[in-house]
Amino acid sequence: MLRFSIGVITVCFLLTACNESVQVSDSALVVKPKPQKLSDLPVPSADPKALLGSQLFFDVNLSKERNQSCATCHDIANGFVDKRNDVLSGAVSLGSDGHSIGTRNTPTAAYAAFSPPFHRMVNGEYRGGQFLDGRESGLAEQATGPFVNAVEMALPDGAGVVARVKENTRYENLFNELYGEDILEDDVKGYAAIADAIATFEKTALFMPFDSRYDRALRGEIRLTPEEELGKTLFFSQQFTNCNACHQLNASPFYEQETFTNYEYRNIGVPANAAVTARNGGFIDNGLLDNPAINDPKHAGKFKVPTLRNVAVTGPYMHNGVFQDLRTVIMFYDKYNNPSRTINPETGLPWAEPEVATNIDMENLEIGPALPDQRVDAIVAFLKTLTDKRYEHLLETE
Ligand code: HEC
Ligand code: HEC
């Protein structure tokens, strides 16, 4: 719980504002680029590169069968996740070829820009990066993955993506204008420019509006209900839940750009999704250990702590989509402290064994008293307040 150490407080105090976003991990000082103030975030239409990126993000021609875009799996109408629900109850996503599936539940692309570059902390743990195992450091590097992933957009290589982009002379003109004449004639530079445009789009306010009820309450525009307030108190309490040991970025609960993740990697003992393993031959997801830069088995089963923004509308949950309902997730955490919480309400059976039984962060999970149902409900009510305004109507159908 280093984030609550005197070190953090001192640093914040010296800089007079925590939104300088200086993070202390152990004794090392990791200075992140200062997050932009909400009012500074560009809207896509204000930045020609972002506008070009938005066209690429939605363009199905950039997949093998011309049937899939980034937005197919990161649907702007649904919290930037895949709500097609066509395979295995939406646990994993179907690729362009119409039959391949991935092994991981599609995470939201919203607020992803806040993840710092992948790095090792002085305590030997890792932090930041894109993907659930941090294998790409930033958004531009990440964006080169899906086009050429055989179970996703399935183009042969970067040159294949550039060739598809060049089919459209409007794109070609824009790339010449924004990235330099004939940039698409060089496959490597051309592919990097394509990824850069998409990453620029992903850094606009469209992806991070910060206009949920939580944000509005923080700004004094509305008041949360007593149940939501109770959930908020429980969530931010080390004594009652310890959720914020992992799901809090900034030490101040008044921080206006909280993303509800510290971007670290943890194994919380999530069970395998039997439906997914039945389809993929019993594949075990080792999380962080699957990152090519990592080979120490002490990282097996650790996944990047996900943002909780929009979580109420982005189920199913966990890296493998094993839980359908947000309430089940809270009951799952409660099982570590509540001897009567033995049954997974979705299966009617005892909680299944963890997918990776080593390295589980018991120290942070076995904290706090058992949660009566009323508190479970309050935490769910609080998590619903993290829903951006444009998705609030989805809460009624969830
Ligand atoms: C077939 C579905 C699919 C398509 C198409 C797709 N993604 Fe993803 N996306 C995923 C999955 C699954 C993951 C998690 C994979 C992992 O961790 O190994 C992911 C992860 C991400 C992440 C990382 C989020 C985080 O919190 O780490 C970003 C950002 C992202 N995708 C953006 C894009 C962009 C940009 C495109 C288009 C170039 C795209 N995706 C196309 C399914 C998809
Ligand atoms: C030890 C760190 C840790 C603690 C403590 C913790 N979480 Fe998590 N949380 C994680 C990690 C890591 C994941 C992703 C695990 C995976 O996919 O295997 C996660 C996943 C989730 C998800 C699913 C998100 C999604 O999009 O799939 C929710 C909801 C959630 N946590 C809420 C909470 C709440 C509420 C608490 C307190 C009761 C809590 N967490 C405590 C680390 C933690």
- Mutating to test ligand 2, I would choose from 232, 266, 290, 362 the residue with most ligand atoms within 8 A of its C-beta, which is 266
Q: What angle do CA 221, 227, 229 make, to 5 degrees?
A: 50
Distance of alpha carbon 263 from alpha carbon 131, whole angstroms: 11
Closest residue by Cα to atom 26, ligand 2, is: 317
Q: Contacts from 287-290 at CB under 8 Å and sequence distance 24+?
A: 287/132, 287/133, 287/319, 287/356, 288/126, 288/133, 288/134, 289/133, 290/133, 290/135
Instruction: Check residue 43 and give its pLDDT.
Output: 75
Q: Cα(140) to centroid of ligand 1, in Å?
A: 12
* CB burial string 171-201: b at 16+ within 10 A, e below: bbebbeebbeeebbeeeebbbbbbbbbbbbb
Q: Residue 77 burial by CB count (10 A; 0-12/13-18/19+): exposed, middle or buried?
A: exposed
Q: How many residues does the chain have?
A: 398
Q: Cα(12) to centroid of ligand 1, in Å?
A: 34
Query: What structural domains does the chain harbor?
Result: 3-34 (no CATH), 40-207 (1.10.760.10), 209-395 (1.10.760.10)
Q: Are 130 and 227 in contact (CB under 8 A)?
A: no
Instruction: Check residue 149 and give its pLDDT.
Output: 96
Q: Closest by alpha carbon to 240, among 377, 351, 337? A: 337
Q: Closest by alpha carbon to 25, among 113, 95, 123, 91? A: 123
For the Cβ of 110 lying below 6 angstroms from any atom of ligand 2, the answer is no
Q: End-to-end CA distance of the chain, in Å?
A: 34
Residue 53 has a CB neighbour count (10 Å cut-off) of 25
Q: Cα(261) to centroid of ligand 2, in Å?
A: 9
Distance of alpha carbon 113 from alpha carbon 228, whole angstroms: 27
Q: Closest by alpha carbon to 270, among 239, 300, 294, 229? A: 300
For the Cβ of 272 lying below 6 angstroms from any atom of ligand 2, the answer is no
Q: What is the pTM of this model?
A: 0.91
Instruction: Check residue 59 and give its pLDDT.
Output: 97
Q: Which residues line ligand 1 (CB under 6 A)?
A: 68, 70, 72-74, 82, 93, 95, 102, 104, 106-107, 109, 112, 130-133, 139, 142-143, 146-147, 152-153, 198
Which residue type, as a one-letter code, is found at position 255?
Answer: Y
- Side-chain half-sphere of 175: how many Cα atoms within 13 Å? 28
Closest residue by Cα to atom 1, ligand 1, is: 152
Radius of gyration of the chain from its Cα atoms, rounded to whole angstroms = 21
- Give the nearest ligand 2 atom to 321 CA: 27
Instruction: Check residue 2 and give its pLDDT.
Output: 34
Instruction: Check residue 87 and give its pLDDT.
Output: 84
Q: Which two tokens stand for residue 341?
A: 């919480």
Q: What angle do CA 197, 212, 398 make, to 5 degrees?
A: 95
Quote the distance between the C-alpha of residue 221 and its chain's center: 27
Q: Closest by alpha carbon to 207, among 130, 116, 139, 110? A: 110
Q: Closest by alpha carbon to 197, among 236, 147, 133, 247? A: 147
Q: Are 346 and 330 in contact (CB under 8 A)?
A: no
Q: Which two tokens stand for residue 174?
A: 């824009």
Q: Is the peptide bond before 116 cis (omega within 30 degrees of 0)?
A: no
> What is the block-wise mean pLDDT of the chain (398 residues), using blocks of 10 residues?
30 29 32 47 83 97 97 97 90 95 96 97 97 97 96 97 97 98 98 98 96 97 98 96 97 93 98 94 95 98 98 98 98 98 98 98 96 98 98 86
* CB burial string 147-161: b at 16+ within 10 A, e below: bbeebbbbbeebebb
